[in-house]
Amino acid sequence: MSDAYPADGPQPDGFVVTLSNNLETKTITVPTFKNPDGTTQLKFDLAELDRTAFAITARAKAPG
State pLDDT tens for residues 8-37. 999 999 999 999 988 889 899 999 999 999
Question: pLDDT-derived band of residue 60, with 50, 70 and 90 as boundaries?
Answer: very high
Residues in contact with 59: Cβ distance below 8 Å, sequence separation at least 6, in sequence order: 15, 16, 18
Rounded distance between C-alpha atoms, residue 48 and residue 63, angstroms:
27
- Domain-embedded: residue 18: yes
pLDDT at 51: 73
Residue 3's Cα: distance from chain center in Å?
11
In the chain, the percentage of residues whose pLDDT exceeds 90 is: 58
Residue 1 has pLDDT above 70, yes or no: no
Residue 50 has pLDDT above 80, yes or no: no
- Domain-embedded: residue 3: no
Number of domains in the chain: 1
- Domain-embedded: residue 39: yes
Please choose, from the candidates 40, 43, 44, the residue with its C-alpha nearest in 3D space to the C-alpha of residue 9. Answer: 40
